[in-house]
Chains A and B, each alone.
Chain A
Amino acid sequence: MRSSRALYLFAAPALALYGGFFLLPAVQGLRYATTDWDGYSPAFHDVGAANLTDVVTDDDLFRHALTNNLKFLLVVVLGQTALALLLAVLLAARSRGSTWLRALFFLPTVLSSVSVAFIWKFVYDPNFGLANAVLRGVGLGRFESAYLGNEGTAILWVAVAQIWFHAGQMMVVYIAGINQIPGELYDAARTDGAGRWQQFRHVTWPMIAPATALVVAYTTLQSFKAFDLILGLAGNPPRSSLDVLATRIYSTFANSQLGYAAAESIVFMVAIALVTFLQNRAARVAHG
């Protein structure tokens, strides 16, 4: 009995903070989603489910942001996972220079997103930028682009910046996973005549499945939350070609439509839950 009371006592501050700063605002968010509150007026009106219905069925800007978010997510998850894995496989073994290379690839992770946005703005600038200068330099000037100004592909260029930003972090997770693999497995594979590719396919890849699950889950969440890098690269407000769910909700709030922003947040939350659920299912299927 005494230990149970002590348990409640120690949990009380955390529960109070969690309740006060997460649960209660979340419940209030649900309430505001049914109003036309602008965020500062003393009065507001109930609109029922109209906000939610509009978000889901009649809002091209939100739908466009969702599409962008999914495109961004797909490119970042695939690109970042593949790059991190490649770097980890190449640099996992302790060799001369590998420590420096690891540090080099990890370096972007320690930068602030504002700095990363600044760097990539310079890379992507159509007139003064590095990307077009390199293309011109190697005689591929015909492929010069406006990058962030391309309506259909702008979000993919932001995804490239995001991959550069975080791949090093995921590389560390993979290196940790690879270093956990017993050396005897590789010895046995080599004895059986397995080459480097076969060792990777039949030993490394299956053994780092937990690390892959972690990398994919983390990258998915990170991609859904993408906000500051996009604002840094695209400006505030970003135009629709670069709008994702987080920036859309922010813009709606800034447009003095807090009730509608709350409804968008609910749909955002449901989208995250759905993607997480599908991802877990896929992971379960993949691992039997």
Chain B
Amino acid sequence: MSPKNISNAAVLDPVPAKPGNRSKLRLEYDSSRTRSPWWTPVLSVILALLLCAVFIAANGMSPVVVYEKMFRGAFGTSYGLTETMVKAIPLLLCGLGIAVAYRISVWNIGAEGQLTVGAMAATAVTIYFPDLPSFWSISLMLVFGTAAGALWGLMTAIPRTHFGVNELITSLMLNYVALLALDYVVFGPWKDPKGFNFPGSPMFTAAQSLPVLGTTRLHIGLIFGLVAVAIYYLMIKFTRWGYELRLIGANPTAARYAGIHIKRHIIVVMLISGGLAGIAGMAEVSGVTHKLMQGISPGYGYTAIIVAWLAKLNPLGLIVTSILFGGLIVGGYSVQTIGLPSSISEMLQGSILFFLIAGDMIHRFRFRRSA
């Protein structure tokens, strides 16, 4: 055997069995690990807090003081706690809607617009039917709010299913359209003539407002949210529809071969998604602000994306994360008293999402000893 042949054999042999060859640690990717462990969301929140601490410190503040202030503001007092719950209601409803869509990889980021049109439709009821008795007025507002949100969702679903347009762009463009429409009605036809030229609809009457718990601002919308979560849980777990959603989520190609109408599911899911956000909008105007005005949502629709993702689309997790993020919003307001902008909570939300998606993937890598 010539030396040339020997070297060829060494190349062909994948593991040269040389004595004394040290085994090496090698990073490998295991795509079968799709379930991320429970600690990734917790770790993401901690890392996001650390990252934002850097920016707070750069602003000349002590991160510990700021975070303590935020925490106390959100959970430390009974007022803060009910405010947190008030903020958690729209997050829970929108987050649930987003979770339903994300189950089959429909990326609805239009909850903000769907919430806005829901609030507008509910207000339309108070404008055009001002003298209904309480039960009818609230019910009609709920129906109108849901229908408007669902319609906004449908306007995202149809381009996706029939024209192949990415729903991310459509739903986001519709957010801007909805917010401009809101501006139009509050500055224009629905402006309160007795409102000192302030943009906003007239105050709702008691019959048009959702009942509240005792003397707090916590309204009955919480029940809507919890009922919706319960229905979602039962539907996903025990119905054929839920089974099909789970199947599409797990493997769309297999689902299509199994004869599942994916287009129909996309439309239904977007109707539900938009409808839930519409309910959130109705609950906001009728339960919290008691009139339609600019800025009824401080970005609930966007925050709800992280709420849904952090909860891993799990219904019980949604309740926990929406309260957490409700606290984040209230905490963001409370740091304004020490001169920090409330956008600190938005910054935290974005970085939580960053670490979360990184964490979901990092645990798929593992070290393996190669011979």
A, B bound: no
A residues contacting B by CB (< 8 A) are none
